[in-house]
Amino acid sequence: MAVVVDQATRLYLPPLRLDVTVREGVPRIVPLARLGRAIRAAALASRAPMPASVGLVLTADAELASLNREHMGKRGATDVLSFPLLPPEAFRPEAAGDADPSSMGDHRQPMPPASATVGPAEASSFVLPPGERVALGDIAVSVERAIAQARDGQGGQDASTAWDPRDELLLLVLHGTLHLCGWDHAEPDENRRMRALEWRLLRGRYDDEPV
């Protein structure tokens, strides 16, 4: 009987470390380094405490459906879920401009137990020992769904865009990272700012943003 082995990769993109797990059989449609740069850019734009680490799982619909049921109480697969380890107050999101992109689906992140969170003072001002990092949390993305949404014209920020699956996957990874970093889109103004920042990040506007 064949042993199914996931592929684990650790990328260092100072001041961020990215721990990536690619499930068996999941295609790599975007280089992991490119996904890492997108996550780094989103974390820096959100003024995340640094140095930090983020976990990314690239998987398929079946695992996202299981996570969606367990953590969100919803049936069926979704495209991305975020599991933050810090409260929103640990970040200092900057204004994202005046654009007004359309809304996407509901990917509100499940929060961890209170015992797993770090207070804002700890996250932003606590001096870590050498080599230690702040864990921002984990992101799970269905590459299967990213490909299908792009192909079927159900992708993009408006959920009605047909475009390259690579762009869809990048957008989902950015969306998940911003949820890790305290962003949400429950209210109209929050939605406008978060979507505008996503678009700027997708266009590479923050690749060299300082900490």
- What are the domain boundaries of the chain? 7-202
Res. 90: pLDDT tops 50: yes
Question: Considering the domain 7-202, what is its CATH architecture?
Answer: 3-Layer(aba) Sandwich (3.40)
| pLDDT 10s digits, 40-68 | 999 999 999 999 999 999 999 999 999 99
Dihedral-angle region of residue 25 (phi above 0 means left; psi in -120 to 50 means alpha; beta otherwise): left
Query: What is the torsional sign of CA 177, 179, 181, 184?
Result: positive
CA distance 23 to 142: 10
Q: What is the pTM of this model?
A: 0.81
| pLDDT 10s digits, 123-173 | 444 456 666 899 999 999 999 999 999 999 999 999 999 999 999 999 999
Res. 109: pLDDT tops 70: no
Res. 115: pLDDT tops 80: no
